[in-house]
Amino acid sequence: MNTETRAEVGPAKWWTVVQAVVWIITRSLPLVERASSMRTFAALQRLQELRSVSVGDDPPIRLEAAPAELRRAVKGGGVGIYGRRRGSGKLESVPLRGYVQTPWLEDRGNDVRFVNETMAQTGDYWADLLVRSDQCMNTWPAAPAADTTSPASTPATAPPQKPTYQRETEYSPKRVPKQFQQWAKKKHEAKQIITEDMALDAMIGPKDATGKRSGGMLAPGKHLVRTTVRGWLATLDKGWVATRGTPRRRNT
């Protein structure tokens, strides 16, 4: 949060979207405060204490999935989002109506932007993004404090929870191409972040000077859109949560 914004909205009542992602992952107010100067999701990889926690019956949310969780809450109305259009001007509530596709949160340069493909083509975006801390804490409640009154009644190690979905049906669905599964698996095992642009380049080739793609793993002339890649990654995410840990992927 820059100085102008901090003066405009006041202290801890507001969080940057990076701080909100830290809360979603850790439910730790000290770590949220430590992230106050971090401007991108990628910067959070330097925060060694960033450990995802499970609250109640909900599974833990990893860094790669947390921005998408925040976007869903914003889209659903549970969390309001504020920012500056094109990174300047007055801080205002970001309107969600009128977009054919709800913008997503992603790192662009040294900032997080709220943008979709149509907006990116016209140079439109929202930046310097803030959310209400109370709305985040209501949407993703804090973990209950540990009960230390009767330690003998608490097992030293909780039994591992079984996944609620079948590995083969979720990890290897027929609708996700084998080439994509194998490529994403290698990236995941190498602990590399998978971006949608990286996946598009690998599957249908990088863009040339005219904007056309060629040379990818899929059949020549194959048409592939970003939303399809996003669906493939989300499908693989679900299987990896149960078997290998979520793929290192930026939000969509």
**pLDDT of the residue at 118:** 76
SS3 of residue 215 by DSSP: coil
**Is the pLDDT score of 134 beyond 60?**
yes
* Domain assignment present for 229: yes
* Domain termination site, one of 92, 122, 139: 139
- 179 and 64 within one domain: no
Percent of the chain surpassing pLDDT 70:
74
Q: What is the pLDDT of residues 21-62, one digit of tens each?
A: 999 999 999 999 999 999 999 999 888 888 889 888 889 999
**pLDDT of the residue at 87:** 87
Q: How many helices and strands, by DSSP H and E, does the chain display?
A: 10, 6
Do residues 33 and 15 make contact, with C-beta atoms less than 8 angstroms apart? no
* Domain assignment present for 81: yes
- 194 and 122 within one domain: no
- 131 and 179 within one domain: no
Alpha helices in 50-91 (DSSP H): 66-76
Q: What is the pLDDT of residues 58-110, one digit of tens each?
A: 899 999 999 999 999 998 889 999 999 888 889 999 887 766 666 788 888 88
Q: Number of folded domains in the chain?
A: 2
* Domain assignment present for 215: yes
CA–CA separation, 48 vs 212, rounded Å? 40
Round the average pLDDT of the chain to a whole number and report it: 76
**Is the pLDDT score of 176 beyond 70?**
yes
**pLDDT of the residue at 159:** 47
* Domain assignment present for 83: yes
Would you call 226 exposed, middle or buried from its count of C-beta atoms within 10 A (0-12, 13-18, 19+)? middle
- 57 and 129 within one domain: yes
Using only C-alpha atoms, the chain has a radius of gyration, in whole angstroms, of 20
**pLDDT of the residue at 100:** 61
* Domain assignment present for 71: yes
User: Would you place residue 240 in the very low, low, confident or very high pLDDT band (cuts 50, 70, 90)?
Assistant: low
* Domain assignment present for 117: yes
- 175 and 103 within one domain: no
- 176 and 106 within one domain: no
Domain containing 198 equals: 167-243
SS3 of residue 99 by DSSP: coil
- Where is pLDDT greater, at 251 or 62? 62
**Is the pLDDT score of 12 beyond 60?**
no
CA–CA separation, 136 vs 68, rounded Å? 14
- 175 and 91 within one domain: no
Do residues 112 and 103 make contact, with C-beta atoms less than 8 angstroms apart? no
CA–CA separation, 67 vs 71, rounded Å? 6
Lowest mean pLDDT among 75-89, 117-131, 167-181: 167-181
Nearest to 138 by CA among 55, 199, 59: 55
- 101 and 25 within one domain: yes
**pLDDT of the residue at 1:** 46
Alpha helices in 143-177 (DSSP H): 167-171
97 secondary structure, DSSP code: T
Would you call 164 exposed, middle or buried from its count of C-beta atoms within 10 A (0-12, 13-18, 19+)? exposed
SS3 of residue 134 by DSSP: helix
**pLDDT of the residue at 15:** 96
* Domain assignment present for 204: yes
- 27 and 127 within one domain: yes
- 133 and 9 within one domain: yes
The arithmetic mean of pLDDT across residues 173-201, rounded, is: 79
* Domain assignment present for 158: no
Q: Which residue has the tokens 């997080």?
A: 112
- 102 and 42 within one domain: yes
- 134 and 9 within one domain: yes
The arithmetic mean of pLDDT across residues 130-134, rounded, is: 94
